[in-house]
Amino acid sequence: MTHAELPPLAALLDAVRVVAIPTRTRFRGITVREAAIFDGPEGPSEFSPFTEYGDAEAAQWLAAAIDFGWRPQPAALRDRIDVNATVPAVGPAEVAGILARFPGCRTAKVKVAERGQTLAEDVARVREVRALMGPDARIRVDANTGWTVDEAVAALTALATFDLDYAEQPCATVPELAAVRERLAAAGTSVRIAADESVRKASDPLAVARAGAADLIIVKAQPLGGVARALDIVREAGLPVVVSSALDTSVGIAMGAQLAAALPAGMLAGACGLGTVALLAGDVTAAPLVPERGSIPVGRPALSDELLARYAAAPERATWWRERVARCHALLATPGRA
């Protein structure tokens, strides 16, 4: 992104509102989701990298927010996107309540490898999801890089009993993903491997495809710098795709839905991970993008001044986010930075 393509910092800061929205269930250790919401010339946009991310990584998220809020988007080829239910690392007794928030969804992504939990807890959670959703549902697991190669092979061998659609990012590195994939295949265990962090957090998001380390890739518009850049990566990778999100408000989800809607026919590998507004206890729009009959509409929701005020972050947190926007804007303006 060149300096000429960047809106002035003052324009961003004039357009930003910072929110702090409670989650219904602890998710990735989070009980309150913070986000900077812009009211841009093209419509609402979102900047919400997790707070622990450094500025260099977060700058890509700001590039995505600018792209979505200040530039026209690629044409949508579909008007609704099928979405999966997302089941956090909860006990079996809580699974039914979680699934009830995703009406009509016939695919579920189940979090596993949570720090402090055991494989037995993962198995119990996945078993309950399968029992409640029935034999025809698709079940995916997401380890968020939580296993070693040996742990991943053992865990996925045990979880394969539940007929998994795929396992998302079982290990941290591309060579580890390749090793897991090879060892499972050699043992006759049929579990596809999906790459998430190895795409969105990588200096080279195409390395995983070149290495043959995954059967499909998970793409998220914010971490990849926006819809257009994500589409370029998808085309170059040449692998099936699932579009996902990062516990965004409906504004961020709309960006992901725009990406999913712009994918050429045949590239989507099933339901997308764009139903997570159902895990939030609030939103920034009166028309939240929560699943209805297993899908969400493509389109940008209107901001609600009342909800922006209700969930406004504390002044010190708003200042923290505004300063973060300024630092990331400076990085994007640095000559030679993409």
pLDDT band, very low/low/confident/very high, at 107 (cuts 50, 70, 90): very high
Average pLDDT estimate for 314-324: 98
Dihedral over alpha carbons 251, 257, 259, 264 (to 10 degrees): -170
Average pLDDT estimate for 5-18: 96
* pLDDT at residue number 265: 86
DSSP H stretches of helix in 188-268? 197-200, 207-210, 227-237, 250-262
Average pLDDT estimate for 248-259: 98
Question: Do residues 83 and 296 touch, judged by C-beta distance below 8 A?
Answer: yes
* pLDDT at residue number 3: 44
Question: Do residues 35 and 312 touch, judged by C-beta distance below 8 A?
Answer: no
Q: Which two tokens stand for residue 187?
A: 């043992």
Query: Is the pLDDT score of 23 beyond 60?
Result: yes
Q: What is the mean pLDDT of the chain?
A: 95
Average pLDDT estimate for 294-317: 98
* pLDDT at residue number 5: 82
Summarize pLDDT for 37-71 with one digit per residue, the tens. 999 999 999 999 999 999 999 999 999 999 999 99
Summarize pLDDT for 183-234 with one digit per residue, the tens. 999 999 999 999 999 998 888 989 999 999 999 999 999 999 999 999 999 9
pLDDT > 70: percent of the chain: 98
What's 134's DSSP letter?
Answer: -
* pLDDT at residue number 65: 98
> In terms of C-beta density within 10 A (0-12 exposed, 13-18 middle, 19 or more buried), how is residue 97 classed?
exposed
Query: Is the pLDDT score of 132 beyond 70?
Result: yes
Q: Long-range CB contacts (< 8 A, 24+ apart) of 244-247?
A: 244/196, 244/218, 244/219, 244/220, 244/272, 244/273, 244/274, 245/220, 245/273, 245/274, 245/276, 246/48, 246/49, 246/50, 246/220, 246/222, 247/23, 247/27, 247/28, 247/30, 247/33, 247/276, 247/279, 247/280
- Radius of gyration of the chain measured on its C-alpha atoms: 19
Query: Is the pLDDT score of 338 beyond 80?
Result: no
Domains assigned to the chain: 3-73+305-332 (3.30.390.10), 80-297 (3.20.20.120)
pLDDT > 90: percent of the chain: 93
Residues 6+ away with beta carbon under 8 Å from 74: 227, 228, 231, 258, 262
Question: 5 labelled as ligand-binding?
Answer: no
* pLDDT at residue number 25: 85
* pLDDT at residue number 26: 84
pLDDT band, very low/low/confident/very high, at 273 (cuts 50, 70, 90): very high
Q: Which two tokens stand for residue 327?
A: 């630092």
Determine the Cα angle at 107 with ends 185 and 292, to 5°.
160
How far is the C-alpha of 161 from the C-alpha of 174, rounded, in Å?
25
Residues with catalytic function: 111, 220
Average pLDDT estimate for 291-318: 98
Question: 232 labelled as ligand-binding?
Answer: no
Question: 196 labelled as ligand-binding?
Answer: yes
How far is the C-alpha of 313 from the C-alpha of 316, rounded, in Å?
8
Average pLDDT estimate for 251-258: 98
**Beta bridge mates, 219:** 243
pTM as predicted: 0.94
* pLDDT at residue number 337: 61
